[in-house]
Amino acid sequence: MLHDASTADCLVYTFREGLLSAVGHDLCLRVERFAVEVTGDANAPSILARFDAASLRASGDVAPADARKIERNAADDVLAARRFPTIEFRSTRVARDGDRARIDGTLTLHGHTRELSFDATADAAAWSAEVRLDQRDFGIKPYTAMLGALRVKPEVVVRIRVPRA
């Protein structure tokens, strides 16, 4: 089964810190282009997910001009999307227990591959997972402005929701 942004959601949350954090934004960025492919049987699925690093779009209470700047910074400065256009997760093990699953795999982001484990839960309509990532683990320097007085925290939260098969 193949899911994309027309049937599933992938959101990235960033949080501000620093002396001037009051002038910045905690952000919700929607990934606009991705594909999550689930293969195998229901008891032992395999997951391959690919995300377009240049397709993050600011959502929420962000002025249009600010949104464009945020999106450009995310693609060009933070994720280096021209150099590393695809973010990929590949499962190595999916252990299901009813409406819960433990998912192990590898995440390749910004040219670095790291092992990753997380839990997913299902409701009547979809499977959902939340993953916390430290940007520095993938060679990413968190965004800073105003000589470091405004910074994005190193940890980001990724939430993904895909329909139940």
pLDDT mean across residues, the chain: 91
The pLDDT tens digits of the residues spanning 106-156 come to 999 999 999 999 999 999 999 999 999 999 999 998 877 776 667 789 999
Which CATH number goes with the domain that contains 60? Answer: 2.40.128.110
Please give the average per-residue pLDDT across 15-26, as a whole number.
Answer: 70
State the residue for tokens 């999916």.
Answer: 94
pLDDT for residue 19: 66
pLDDT for residue 42: 76
Using alpha carbons only, what angle is made at residue 161 by residues 75 and 29, rounded to the nearest 5 degrees? Answer: 25
C-beta of residue 136 within 8 angstroms of C-beta of residue 143: no
From residue 155, alpha-carbon distances to 5, 97, 147 in Å are: 24, 29, 20
Q: Amino acid letter at 164?
A: R
Domain count along the chain: 1
Residues spanned by the domain of 23: 2-163
The pLDDT tens digits of the residues spanning 31-86 come to 999 999 999 887 778 999 999 999 999 988 888 998 999 899 999 999 999 999 99
C-beta of residue 135 within 8 angstroms of C-beta of residue 141: yes
More confident residue, 19 or 12: 12
How many angstroms separate the CA atoms of 20 and 141, rounded? Answer: 19
Helix (H) or strand (E) holding 69: helix 64-72
